[in-house]
Amino acid sequence: MPKKNRDLKNWLEFFALQAFLWFTRIMPFSWSCWVGKQLGKMAYQVLTSRRQLTIENIREAQGQGFLTGINVNELACKVWENIGQVGSEFFYFYSRGFDALRKRVTISGEANLRQVLAQRKGAILIVAHLGNWELLGLALSALGYPLTPLVKTQTNPLVDRVIQAKRQSAGIKVVPRERFLRQIVLALRNNEIVPFLIDQSQAGQRGVRVQVFGRTASLPPGAAEFALKTGAPVIFAYLVREEGNRYRVVISEEIELSKTGDYAEDLVANTAYYIGMVQEVVTHYPEQWLWMHKLWESRIRV
């Protein structure tokens, strides 16, 4: 795309985002959620290849014996409504702080997190694109826990600055994936929590091949790598949406690290265990997971 057209596209996206921010600030929470869901539903209709991929992925899982008895098309639409609501919730609560979220969230397992941090080795936090993972970060940060997540830089720099500023306003220290190694080591030494999103495909030699819903996928090994190399404890946490516009945060106990001495084998075994924990939760909340990513090999181009 020519630079002039790309710049115009970036500014149009930026102004659309600013308009959405304004609406989320002035609208009641229930209205904001409704608008987010409608935008997600609209995207489901417009983004044809992503819609097809969402449906294909759910069918693949059903073909392996998961999510039986669920209507594929209805679930696929709900998945997109969920991602639209994730965006509206992100801007709504990050504009108002934790006090607004506190009234709607219940936290289970906070003692597990305190016990892990008491070791003074930091904590590796297994996270998935499940429920609203952005609100999970806000909730933990607002409780006083230091978070240093790896973040993906948005292709639109104007939009990226807005999103990163929202995260930083909550006290979250963001680390671009392009230069993450030293910052992660320092964060763990400072007894900070480093979240790792593990449920998206990692192509090429960097990925480790494990089973996800009965099919082999190549996933990022970062969480297992840092656990094996630094000895930092590992926990799993997620935030899911419940009835009545309420949320529940669940924090696991420390996950025992598989360490046999065969590094390559341990990398696969630990990554497989982590994604297995994610898969178990997804089976209970399938509409709150991002099924639109190319997790397995597919002929659909996105």
**233-274 confidence digits (pLDDT tens):** 999 999 999 988 899 999 999 999 999 999 999 999 999 999
User: Residue 230's closest CA among 272, 273, 278, 192?
Assistant: 192
Considering only residues 116 and 33, tell me which one the structure prediction assigns the higher pLDDT.
Answer: 116
pLDDT at 159 over 90: no
pLDDT, position 234: 98
Whether residue 78 is contained in a domain is answered as yes
- d(CA 47, CA 126) in angstroms, rounded, equals 29
Neighbours of 73 (CB within 10 A): 11
Mean pLDDT of 91-103: 82
pLDDT, position 175: 72
**3-54 confidence digits (pLDDT tens):** 666 767 777 776 776 777 777 777 888 888 899 999 999 999 999 999 999 9
Neighbours of 266 (CB within 10 A): 18
In the numeric block, which tokens belong to residue 77?
Answer: 């639409």
pLDDT bin (cut points 50, 70, 90) of residue 300 is confident
Whether residue 277 is contained in a domain is answered as yes
Whether residue 294 is contained in a domain is answered as no
Whether residue 296 is contained in a domain is answered as no
Strands (E), the chain: 105-108, 123-127, 150-151, 175-176, 193-197, 208-212, 215-219, 234-242, 246-251
Domain tally for the chain? 1
Mean pLDDT of 158-176: 71
Find how far residue 80's CA is from the centre of its chain: 15
Mean pLDDT of 89-99: 82
pLDDT at 169 over 80: no
Whether residue 133 is contained in a domain is answered as yes
Stated pTM of the model: 0.89
Whether residue 13 is contained in a domain is answered as yes
Neighbours of 246 (CB within 10 A): 12
Whether residue 293 is contained in a domain is answered as no
Which residues form the domain of 167? 3-288
Whether residue 30 is contained in a domain is answered as yes
